Amino acid sequence: MQTDQELINRVQEEQDNDSLVEIINRHSGVYQDMVDKFLSGGKNVADRDGLLEDKEFAIYSSVMKYDPSRGAKFPTYLANQARWTCLNTLTRNKKFQKCSLEELLRPPQSEGDLEIHENDEIFSLFKSFLAKEKDKRFKKVIDMRYNSLSNNVTPWSKVAESIGMSIQGVINIHNRCLLKFKKKISKSCITVLHQ
């Protein structure tokens, strides 16, 4: 049986998917325990479920950032990363008020409601960006990840399996897509400001 460090080295150096799956299987309980501890309670159910759905990505991120020379074993490092993710989620929830889908879809009735429709414009730009994008994997990954009928985010492992790629490969495509879109939006905003 390979040690955690051997598996982590294989993921970091060789992008070995089998080693990543083994690490995820070994340490999912550590991650879940931390999420359950910090996000228990009625009002945190959606955030808790979202973080648990992203468990594979969170563990993958921790694997990629893990440095054994800092003195912590991987389970301890993962638990700390999960704790900070939960605390950041709780802090974000204090800043932003949640609303239902019906509230988002109703027409603006006040100045504050106009902000919602500005977000609709960004979403519309994103859909247009995906339609024009030459790399069709972007659209495939985004559609699989966010367009599920249950209004939930599809876990990375299911997206990877249905597309026939590794979890890491799917995450990389997703992140490249979002980065490219952010750059495009930034250029558009700068152009509008300079006109």
User: Model confidence over 66-76: pLDDT tens digits?
Assistant: 999 999 999 99
CA atoms of 158 and 167, how far apart (whole Å): 9
- Give the residue with greater pLDDT, 195 vs 81: 81
CA atoms of 178 and 180, how far apart (whole Å): 5
Q: Which is it for the CA torsion 169, 173, 174, 179, positive or negative?
A: positive
pLDDT confidence bin for 28, thresholds 50/70/90: very high
Sequence-distant (≥ 6) Cβ neighbours of residue 151 within 8 angstroms: 101
Residue 115 burial (C-beta neighbours within 10 Å; 0-12, 13-18, 19+): exposed
Residue-wise pLDDT tens digits, 32-67: 999 988 888 777 777 888 888 889 999 999 999 999
The pTM for the full model equals 0.51
Q: At what angle do helices 55-65 and 45-53 cross, to 10 degrees?
A: 60
Q: Among candidates 111, 88, 116, 86, which has minimal Cα distance to 100?
A: 116
| Cβ-contact 159, 145 below 8 angstroms | yes
- CATH architecture, range 109-194: Orthogonal Bundle (1.10)
